[in-house]
Structure 1
């Protein structure tokens, strides 16, 4: 059975983006925190340069993923990943399909009937692998719906002071988490918590 893993970089004070939406502060560790190159997959791959521990961590994480659920803002910011995300088919929560989509030979799909439907579709497409969740709003919706099995948070060595919080708008708090696995990188600490079901 596929696990659902919320994956996000976050500042130490809990923000995933600055007030103007800029995410480079929390993702800076991907670009220059070490000398190990990691090439992302998909149609528009990026090359990251991270520490050896972060590289091992990223390889292990991405090898277990078979699909992605995310929101429209993330899709727009990533320019649709060139039509194919490196983690596998992407299911984008959207009220309307953007102009120019769907595209031939693209593995990006748009879901307008809710997060539960998007997760079901992603699990079916993941081929037995896990489903990654990305984007603060998408992660919040999935936490509220009880769909998240693991929280995977990369804590960047930065304090933003304000901006977009990862864990806003949550219902039925507190949520109980299991013991974390911790990987210390350079400029980042990788945390992974199981979400304990009631």
Structure 2
């Protein structure tokens, strides 16, 4: 089975967005460089929905590109799905999306899209690993990501740390209780306006 990686951009005080779900300056580093992040040939990643490719520092591109190319499945919560309308049925990376939700797929919403609505984090990871095979399962941070970590289903934690203090907002690890020990970071990459870190979860 592929590695389950919990990932998000995060402020130095541990927030992935403010109380209104605004990411503010957290994504500025996606547009402050001269190196595009591309998926194979000329296909562009478009997490933002703007149609614009990310332009990052070379160090960030060399770090991010292989991670995104390895993703087979994204696992997200219903709140994020509703906010971005599921990226209109086109995952920003990978081939499938698992939405952890007590509610089913919205009626008539992109019936062709490979999106699966699953009630519960354990079932979500089971389904994600089935679909991903040997590829990476990318778990969005926040409340659902925190629940998946607390359930012992996360292999690695990846953080793109931006040098800003938000003071309050949506926490990277949600509202889970700790502690949940991690190993020392095995990846440390300094980009422009961001520090990329990866930690293995201590078993």
TM-score (norm 2): 0.88
Contact 2:141 2:173 in 1 (8 A): no
CA offsets, 1:3-40, max 9 Å, x none?
1100111001111111221013222211x220112221
Contact 1:18 1:164 in 2 (8 A): yes
Structure 2 matches for 1:112-151, cutoff 5 A?
A: 112=119, 114-151=120-157
Secondary structure of the residue that 2:54 maps to in structure 1? strand
Q: Which residue of 2 aligns with 1:9?
A: 9
Contact 1:102 1:109 in 2 (8 A): no
TM-score (norm 1): 0.90
Q: Which residue of 2 aligns with 1:40?
A: 45
Secondary structure of the residue that 1:78 maps to in structure 2? helix
Secondary structure of the residue that 1:58 maps to in structure 2? helix
Runs of 4+ in 1 over 4 A off after TM superposition: none
The verdict on how the C-alpha distance between 1:41 and 1:20 changes in structure 2, with shifts beyond 3 A counting, is closer
Q: Which residue of 2 aligns with 1:90?
A: 97
1:70 is aligned to 2:79: no
Contact 1:29 1:188 in 2 (8 A): yes
The verdict on how the C-alpha distance between 1:98 and 1:104 changes in structure 2, with shifts beyond 3 A counting, is closer
Unmatched tracts of structure 1, length 5 or more: none
Q: In structure 2, what is the Cα distance between the partners aligned to 1:183 and 1:35?
A: 17
1:179 is aligned to 2:184: yes
Q: In structure 2, what is the Cα distance between the partners aligned to 1:87 and 1:25?
A: 26
What value does the CA root-mean-square deviation take over the aligned residues?
1.7
Q: In structure 1, what is the Cα distance between the partners aligned to 2:169 and 2:24?
A: 13
CA offsets, 1:19-71, max 9 Å, x none?
221013222211x22011222169x6651111001111111111221101110
Secondary structure of the residue that 2:117 maps to in structure 1? strand
Q: In structure 1, what is the Cα distance between the partners aligned to 2:35 and 2:172?
A: 28
Secondary structure of the residue that 2:165 maps to in structure 1? coil
Unmatched tracts of structure 2, length 5 or more: 38-43
Q: In structure 2, what is the Cα distance between the partners aligned to 1:106 and 1:99?
A: 12
Cα deviation for residue 109 of structure 1 reads 1.3
2:86 alignment partner, one of 55, 80, 84: 80
Q: In structure 2, what is the Cα distance between the partners aligned to 1:41 and 1:49?
A: 11
